[in-house]
């Protein structure tokens, strides 16, 4: 049962940072799955809708037929937003079985895979398979390592889109700089081209003791150039 006040949600999220190993994180997300949607609503968590809007404004193909890989899909918040824009074929991957169960109940996913991102590579047979790849909320310090973005690019079809988000709060400054450096490096290597990068001021309500009000964040959209 969700207690659902901002102070309580804050405590829940801050408790997640105490666990340092991947296993600790999974245990936390498994325990949070049932209340996750209500709790992030309290935080005014806008990343799923911001990512879906960004993809929608650039995607010109047949949306119903497009295959979308939802990485770190959680309970399915991103797929719910993309469904509003006409997308209908989703494959979800997440490290938490309980989160995947919630996503499964949404009925939006045609296929789901349990995998710990960063600890295990994406399946080899996924190479050049997806029209759209989206990862929301997981590219941050202590979660999915920056090196994973190369695997995301590899799994997209040539001409496919990869949409990523990260936070710009104090704890994530170094991670964000490393992420942006890797995105630029991959562009220089001719793997993809930058379509849009949007810095968003009111990303979600701040939960750390050092910050008040809202933290900012960023949405990145890239287009794969070659296989």
pLDDT given for residue 18 in this prediction:
65
Per-residue model confidence as pLDDT tens digits over 2-52: 457 888 888 887 776 666 677 888 899 999 999 999 999 999 999 999 999
Mean pLDDT of 177-186: 98
- Residues of the chain with pLDDT > 70, as a percent, come to 96
Q: Does domain 45-224 have CATH number 3.40.50.300?
A: no
Domain ranges of the chain: 45-224
Cα 63 to Cα 56, 67, 101, 188: the distances in Å are 9, 8, 25, 30
pTM of the model: 0.94
Q: What residue ranges in 36-129 does DSSP mark as E strands?
A: 67-71, 89-94, 109-114
pLDDT tens sequence across 192-201 = 999 999 999 9
For residue 118, pLDDT over 90 is answered with no
Answer yes or no: are the C-beta atoms of 200 and 50 closer than 8 Å.
yes
Name the token pair of 203: 């990303």
Measure CA 164 to chain center.
Answer: 6
Burial class (CB in 10 A: 0-12, 13-18, 19+), 30: middle
- Residue with the bigger pLDDT between 25 and 87: it is 87
Residue 79 has pLDDT above 70, yes or no: yes
- Flag whether pLDDT at 1 surpasses 50: no
Average pLDDT over residues 84-100: 97
Radius of gyration of the chain (CA): 17
């Amino acid at each position: 049962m969700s207690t659902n006040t901002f102070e309580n949600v804050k405590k829940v999220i801050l408790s997640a940072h105490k666990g340092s190993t991947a296993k600790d994180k999974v245990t936390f997300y498994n325990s949070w799955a049932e209340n996750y949607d209500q709790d992030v609503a309290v935080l005014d968590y806008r990343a799923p809708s911001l990512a879906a809007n960004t993809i929608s404004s650039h995607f010109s193909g047949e949306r119903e037929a497009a295959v979308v890989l939802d990485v770190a899909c959680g309970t399915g918040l991103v797929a719910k937003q993309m469904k509003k824009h006409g997308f209908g074929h989703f494959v979800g991957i997440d490290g938490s079985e309980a989160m995947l169960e919630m996503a499964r109940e949404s009925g939006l996913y045609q296929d789901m895979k349990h995998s710990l991102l960063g600890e295990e590579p994406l399946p080899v047979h996924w190479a050049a398979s997806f029209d759209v790849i989206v990862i929301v909320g997981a590219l941050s310090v202590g979660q999915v390592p920056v090196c994973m973005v190369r695997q995301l690019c590899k799994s997209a079809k040539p001409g496919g889109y990869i949409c990523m988000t990260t936070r710009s709060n104090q704890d994530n400054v170094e991670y964000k700089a490393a992420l942006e450096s890797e995105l630029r490096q991959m562009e220089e290597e001719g793997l993809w081209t930058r379509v849009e990068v949007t810095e968003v001021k009111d990303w979600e309500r701040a939960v750390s003791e050092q910050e008040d009000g809202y933290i900012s964040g960023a949405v990145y959209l890239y287009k794969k150039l070659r296989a």
